[in-house]
Amino acid sequence: MNERTQTSGLGFVGQSVTRVEDDRLLRGKGQYVADIEPEGVLHAAFLRSPFAHATIRSIDVTAARRSPRVTAVFTAAELNELTNPFPPFLMMPGLYTPLYMCLSDKKVRHVGDPVALVLADSRYHAEDALELIEVDYEQLAPVASIADALSVNAEQVWERADGNVLLDKSDAYGDVESVFASADRIVTERFSCQRQSNQPMETRGSVIEVDPETGHLTIHNATQSSHMLRWLTAALAKKESVRSSLKNFATNKDRRDSFIVAAKEFMAQNGESMQNQDNAGPKSQLRKDRSMLRHLPRTLFGLLGKDDYPTVMARDIGGGFGAKGPVAREDIALAAAAIDLGRSVKWIEDRVENLSDGGHAREEDLTVSLALDNDGTFRGLKVDLVLDQGAYPAFPIGASMATQIMRVMFPGAYKFDAFHLRARTVATNKGKYVAYRGPWANETWARERIIDVAAKALGYTPTDLRLKNMFSDQDMPAAMITGPALDETMSTKKTLEHAMQVVDIDEFRDEQETARAEGRYLGLGFACYHEAAPGPPDYFDSISPGAGTLGTEYARTTIERDGSIVVYTSQMPHGQSHETTYAQIVADELGVGIADVKLVYGNTDRTPFSVMGTGGSRGGPLGGGSVKYSSREVRQQVIDAAAELLEASADDIDIMDGNIHVSGVPARGVSFADVAATVISEGDQPFDATFGYTGKGDGGWSCATHACIVEVDLETGRVDIPRYVVVEDCGPIINPAIVNGQVRGGVAQGVGAVLYESSVYDTEANLQATTYMDYLIPTAMEIPYVEVHHLETLSPGENDFRGVGEGGMIGAPPAITNAIEDALGPFGARVTDQYLPPTKILEMAGIIDPD
Amino acid sequence: MTVSFTLNVNGAATEVSTEPRRTLSDVIREDLGLTGTHLGCEHGVCGACTVLLDGAPVRSCLTLAVQADGHEITTVEGLANGDELHPVQQAMHEAHGFQCAFCSPGFMLSTVALLAENPNPSRHEIREELSGNLCRCTGYHTILDGVEVAIRALASDGASGGGDA
Ligand code: FES
Ligand code: FES
C-alpha cells in the first residue's frame, strides 16, 4: 500500500502499510542522540581500567586538569561524593545484589571499568586529556570464567558475596525424585553458551542540557526506558541528606501534593501486584549487605524532596535489543557532573567501549537431564544453570531475573510430571550482562538440544518425539508445570505440524543421503517454543512475586483544538515501527487516515509512566491495546459531542475518513475540529482519555517452529544455510511486513550467535573482541533468506495481538545447532556449545585436533 | 594548528577551518551540521558513515576532512530532490527496507554507487556489494528487496543509474 494517501474504511490493521517513520529517517533527518549538540556543550570521555581486577592505590589528574581545553576532570572519588549507589531492584530469595557507584574509586572489576571523567571543548581534546591521567593500580587475580568463579580459591569480585556466587536458588515442581527414579531412561548433557553482545548499530549516549536559569536537566538519551532513566537520575545523581530532603518535602506543598497524587495513582494500578511481593527477597539482600538500609532512605527521601526531576527526551534510537534498557553508570556520572558544573555535557560511547561494557549476554552453562520412558514419553526435566553476569549487575533488570524467566519457560510446549531447576548467578571480572532479545532464550536452546539428543538415543525422529510430548488443543485449558496457564494461543504443536508440511522431511533425507555419497554434508534441525507475549495474568508473578508491576502499559489519546489527533505512549520505540502500527490501530478506531495520527513518545514530560519502556514483546499486545482503548474512549467522547451538534442519537453517528456524520448522510458531516470547537474546555485537548492495559486475560502466547537446513563444508569448516523456515503464530497481525522484519532480524542475530559472534575473554579476563574485526557481525553474505509462514490462531475477546519481537532469536540457535549436529551425524558429533566457528566444526568432524 | 580549505558537499561549497586530524565524518556532522551521516564503529567496518567522494563510496570515519579538499561529497541529505525522495530512498520505503534506520545512510549511498556502476546487478551481486555495510535489525532481506525495487524504478524511468544523485 502506498503512503499517506490511504483512506480509512478498509481497516489498516492487518495490512503491510508503509512506515510513517521513513520519511524523516531516509532523508537523514532523524534525530539520534549524537545529533544533538547544545550550544557550549562539554564533551565527555571516561578513563577506563586497563586491568580486569585491581585495587586503585592512587590517581593523579593534575596534568589533565591543567590542559587548556579541559573544563573539568572528576575522579571516581569526587563523583561518588555527589551521588548515591545503584540500589538493588526486584530483590529475590537467594539473591545478593552488590551496590555500586557510577565510577570505581577503590577497586576496578573489569577491563573498561570507568575511573575518571574528563570534560573538554571537544571529544578529541577530552580523549587527549585521558592520556595525562596517572593511575596506580595493584592487580588482583582475575576471575575470568564460570569455573574460576566457582573455584573456592578465587579472588572475590564482591567482598560480601559467597565466594563469587550472587544467586543460588532451587525450585522443584512435582515429585522430582520419584519421577527420575521410575523413568526408563535419563539423558544428560552439559551445554555451554558463549558470551554474546546485543550490538545495536548505534552505541549508547547521553546529552544532558542544563537550563542556566533554573538548573533543570533535559536528558537526551538513547534509552529503551525513558521514565526509569528519569527517576533513577533524580534518585542518584544528586545526593542529599535525609534531613534536607524531608525539610524540603514538608515545606514545598506542590511537591508534596504531586507526590501524593502520583503515589495514589501508582498504588491504584499496581497495589495488588505489589502485595504479592514477599519479604524473602529483601531478607536475602540484608543478610549479605545491610548498607541498603543506609543508602535507600537517602535515595528515596532525596526523590521526595526534589523540586525538580529531569526531563528525559529520546527521539530516534538506532536499535537496542535490550542493551539500552538499563540505566548506565555513565548516565549517572554525566548527570552528576552536569549538575555540579551547571553546564551541558555530551557523551557518545565509542564502539570499543560498547563492545566492552555496552552489554553482554547469554554466557551460561546448563546441565540438563531429561527423564523419559522407552515409548518416548517425557517424564521429568532437571536443570543446573550457572550464569556469568560479569562484574556489575545491570539496573533495573539484572541477570538473575533472566534465570527466573528461564525457570518458568524451560519446560516449553511439552508435558512433564516433574521439573527441577537450580539457578546460580556468578560474578566475574567481565562486562555486565544485560537482557538480549529473548533474555531467557537458552532454555529453548538447551531443551531443544536435549530433545534431539534423546531422540537419537531412543531411535525416534526429532519431530516425532516432539509431537508425542507437546500440548495440543485437546489438552486445553492446561498449565505449564511451572505455573502459567495455557489456552488455545499455545499453538506450538500446530506450528511444528505446519513446518513439517513446508519442509518435506522425507525428500530432505533422500537428498542428504545422496549428498553424503558425494562428500557434502547436509543437516536439518527443528526448534519449537512459545513465549509470553504478553502471557497470561499470572505470568510475571510466576517469575518473581510482585513483578506484575512491570506489566502495565499506558496510552493517552487526545483530540486537539484544531482537530488533530495526538497519541501518547509509554512505549519507547527503537526500530520497531510503533509510529506506523499504532497509527494503524488508532486510524481504525477513529475512522481517520494514517497520516492524521501523531504519536508522541520518549518525552517524560508528555508521555505516561512505565517502568519498562519497550522490551519483552509487549509493544504490540499491551502498548497497542492501551492505544486502542484510549482511542476508543476518545471516539465515544467525540461521538457524544457530535451527537449534540448534529442533533442525532450517538448510536447513529459514524466516522469515516475523518468525516463525522449521521449514518448514511456523510454529505452533512462535520470534522474533528468542528466538534472540538463546540466543547468548552480550558485546555488544549477538548477530548482526552488515558488507558492502562495489562492484557486481555488468559493466553497471550506467541509460538513458532524454526526449521533450518545447513550444508557444512569440511574443507573450510564453513556452514551455509540454504533454507531457513519460520512458522510463527502471533495471532492476528497488525502489519505483516513489520512482523516479518522482526522475525528475520531475530533470526539474523541467532545466525550470528551460532556461527560468528563471541565476546571472548582470555584467562586473564582481557576481552579479545574489542572491534568489529574480532566481533563479527554477520553481513548480507552470511544471512540466509528466511521464509516466514504465518498461522493466526485466534482466541476469544478483543485485542488478540501477540508480540513477536524476541522469537526469531529464541528459535534460531537451537534450529541451527540441531541442523549442524544432524549434518555431522556420520562423525558421531555432539553439539554442546552454542558457538560453532569453523575450527569447532572441523574438530567435531574429527578433521582437526581440539588442541 | 588548523588548516583551512573548501568542502563541496551536496553541491554547496563551505569554507572549513579545522585541526588536520579531524575526520571527514566529524566535520560533516559537527561543522556542517549534516547529521544524516552516522557513526557506528569509527573503525571502518560498519559502513554507516559511507559518503560518496566523486561518486565512489568512502568511509568518512577513516577519511580525514582535508583529504576531501577538491572533491565532490554526497551525503544522504543530498539524495532527495526537495520533497521528492531519490529512487533509492523511495524504493527502501516501499520495501520496508529499514527498522531503526541507523545504518540506512550507508546502505543507500553504497546502493547509489553500485547502481551507477552496474544498473542491473543480480541478487548475489547486490549481497556481495553491500556486504561492507552492517545492519543489526533487518537480517538484510528487505534492504536487498529495496535495491531490486530501485533497479526496476530506475530502469522504467529510463535513468541509467543514480550516480551523482
Ligand atoms: S563508522 Fe565508519 S565504518 Fe563504521
Ligand atoms: S535498520 Fe537498524 S541497523 Fe539497520
Same domain (yes/no): A246, A347: yes
Grade residue A432 by pLDDT with cuts at 50, 70 and 90: very high
Say which ligand is closest to the CA of A202. 2
3-state secondary structure of A436: coil
Q: What is the pLDDT of residue A698?
A: 84
Is A312 a member of any domain?
yes
165 residues of chain B, pLDDT tens digit each = 899 999 999 999 999 999 999 999 999 999 999 999 999 999 999 999 999 999 999 999 999 999 999 999 999 999 999 999 999 999 999 999 999 999 999 999 999 999 999 999 999 999 999 999 999 999 999 999 999 999 999 998 764 444 444
Grade residue A610 by pLDDT with cuts at 50, 70 and 90: confident
Q: How far is the CA of A427 from the centre of ligand 1 (A)?
A: 33
Mean pLDDT, to the nearest integer, of A826-843?
Answer: 97
More confident residue, A702 or A280: A702
Q: What is the pLDDT of residue A273?
A: 66
Domain boundaries defined on chain B = 3-78, 87-159
Q: pLDDT tens digit string along A798-831?
A: 888 998 889 999 999 999 999 999 999 999 999 9
Residue where a domain stops, chosen among A638, A671, A693: A693
Distance from CA of A753 to the nearest CA of B (A): 12
| For residue A5, pLDDT beyond 60 | no
Please list, in sequence order, all residues whose beta carbon lies within 8 angstroms of the beta carbon of residue A383, skipping any fewer than 6 positions away: A366, A367, A368, A369, A410, A419, A420, A421, A422, A446
Query: Of all residues in chain B, what percent are helix, strand and coil, respectively (each to 5)?
Result: 40, 20, 45
Q: What is the pLDDT of residue A633?
A: 95
Mean pLDDT, to the nearest integer, of A528-547?
Answer: 87
Query: What is the C-alpha separation between A490 and A495, in angstroms, rounded?
Result: 10
Q: In what order do the strands lie in the sheet with A597-600?
A: A597-600, A565-569, A553-559, A687-693
Residue A441, Cβ density class (10 Å: 0-12 exposed, 13-18 middle, ≥19 buried): buried
Q: pLDDT tens digit string along A440-479?
A: 999 999 999 999 999 999 999 999 999 999 999 999 999 9
Same domain (yes/no): A689, A771: no
Same domain (yes/no): A709, A835: yes
What Å distances lie between residue A826 and A451, A515, A819, A822, CA to CA?
A: 19, 12, 13, 9
Which residues from A are below 8 Å from B153, CB to CB?
Answer: none
The strand pairing partners of A525, in sequence order, are A708
Query: What is the C-alpha separation between A140 and A53, in angstroms, rounded?
Result: 5
Same domain (yes/no): A131, A38: yes
Give yes or no for a contact between A482 and A411, defined as CB atoms under 8 angstroms apart. yes
Q: Is B141 on the interface with A (CB under 8 A)?
A: yes
The strand pairing partners of A59, in sequence order, are A135
Q: pLDDT tens digit string along A82-141?
A: 999 999 988 889 999 999 999 999 999 999 999 999 999 999 999 999 999 999 999 999
Mean pLDDT, to the nearest integer, of A664-687?
Answer: 86
Distance from CA of A806 to the nearest CA of B (A): 12
Least CB-CB distance to B144: which of A18, A202, A780? A780
Q: Is B135 on the interface with A (CB under 8 A)?
A: yes
Give the nearest chain A residue to B91 (CA atoms).
A26
Same domain (yes/no): A705, A684: no
Query: What is the C-alpha separation between A329 and A171, in angstroms, rounded?
Result: 33
Say which ligand is closest to the CA of A577. 2
Residue B91's nearest CA partner among B114, B57, B124 is: B114
Give this complex's ipTM.
0.95
Q: Is A779 on the interface with B (CB under 8 A)?
A: yes
Same domain (yes/no): A341, A448: no
Residue where a domain stops, chosen among A671, A693, A715: A693
Grade residue A144 by pLDDT with cuts at 50, 70 and 90: very high
* pTM of full prediction above 0.90: yes
3-state secondary structure of A129: helix
Residue A638's nearest CA partner among A657, A656, A653 is: A653
Strand intervals (E) in A176-271: 185-193, 196-197, 205-210, 217-221
Question: Domain B3-78 falls in which CATH fold?
Answer: Ubiquitin-like (UB roll) (3.10.20)
* Number of structural domains in chain A: 3
Q: pLDDT tens digit string along A300-352?
A: 887 877 778 999 999 999 999 999 999 999 999 999 999 999 999 999 999 99
Q: What is the pLDDT of residue B163?
A: 44
Same domain (yes/no): A625, A751: no
Same domain (yes/no): A608, A732: no
Residue A438's nearest CA partner among A832, A708, A90, A804 is: A804
The strand pairing partners of A169, in sequence order, are A423
pLDDT above 90 as % of chain A: 80
Q: How is residue A505 written as a grid cell?
A: 522431511
Same domain (yes/no): A286, A381: no
Question: Domain B87-159 falls in which CATH fold?
Answer: DNA polymerase; domain 1 (1.10.150)
CATH number (domain holding residue A37)? 3.90.1170.50
The answer, yes or no, to whether any atom of ligand 2 lies below 6 A from the CB of B100, is yes
Q: Is B98 on the interface with A (CB under 8 A)?
A: yes
Grade residue A549 by pLDDT with cuts at 50, 70 and 90: low
Q: Is A668 on the interface with B (CB under 8 A)?
A: no
Same domain (yes/no): A509, A466: yes
Contact A780 B131 (CB under 8 A): yes
| For residue A6, pLDDT beyond 50 | no
Which residues from B are below 8 Å from A199, CB to CB?
Answer: 136
Is A196 a member of any domain?
no
Rg, chain B, Cα only: 15
Q: What is the pLDDT of residue A571?
A: 85
Give yes or no for a contact between A111 and A767, defined as CB atoms under 8 angstroms apart. yes
User: Hey, how many other C-beta atoms are within 10 angstroms of the C-beta on A596?
Assistant: 19
Provide the residue range defining the domain that includes A444: 360-539+697-844
Contact B42 A19 (CB under 8 A): no
Find the largest Cα–Cα distance for chain B. 52
User: Hey, how many other C-beta atoms are within 10 angstroms of the C-beta on A151?
Assistant: 13
Q: Is A669 on the interface with B (CB under 8 A)?
A: no
Is A180 a member of any domain?
no
Mean pLDDT, to the nearest integer, of A341-370?
Answer: 97
Averaged confidence pLDDT in chain A: 93
Chain-centroid distance of CA A492 in Å reads: 23
Distance from CA of A720 to the nearest CA of B (A): 15
Q: Would you tell me which residues 318-357 of chain A have a C-beta closer than 8 angstroms to some C-beta of chain B?
A: 318-319, 321, 348, 350-351
Mean pLDDT, to the nearest integer, of A617-632?
Answer: 86
* Nearest-atom index, ligand 2, CA of B97: 1
Q: What is the pLDDT of residue A189?
A: 98
Grade residue A296 by pLDDT with cuts at 50, 70 and 90: confident
DSSP per residue, A531-545: EESS--TTHHHHHST
Is A351 a member of any domain?
yes
Most A CBs within 10 A among B96, B112, B133, hence the mutation to make, goes to B96
Q: What is the pLDDT of residue A616?
A: 67
Query: What is the C-alpha separation between A708 and A722, in angstroms, rounded?
Result: 8
Mean pLDDT, to the nearest integer, of A381-389?
Answer: 98
Of A41-55, A242-256, A560-574, B132-146, the one with minimum mean pLDDT is A242-256
Q: Is B148 on the interface with A (CB under 8 A)?
A: no
Q: pLDDT tens digit string along A166-203?
A: 999 999 999 999 999 999 999 999 999 999 999 999 99
Q: pLDDT tens digit string along A713-751?
A: 999 999 999 999 999 999 999 999 999 999 999 999 999
Same domain (yes/no): A517, A387: yes
At position A724, the amino acid (one-letter code) is Y
Q: How is residue A539 written as a grid cell?
A: 505470568
Q: pLDDT tens digit string along A745-803?
A: 999 999 999 999 999 999 999 999 999 999 999 999 999 999 999 999 999 988 889 98
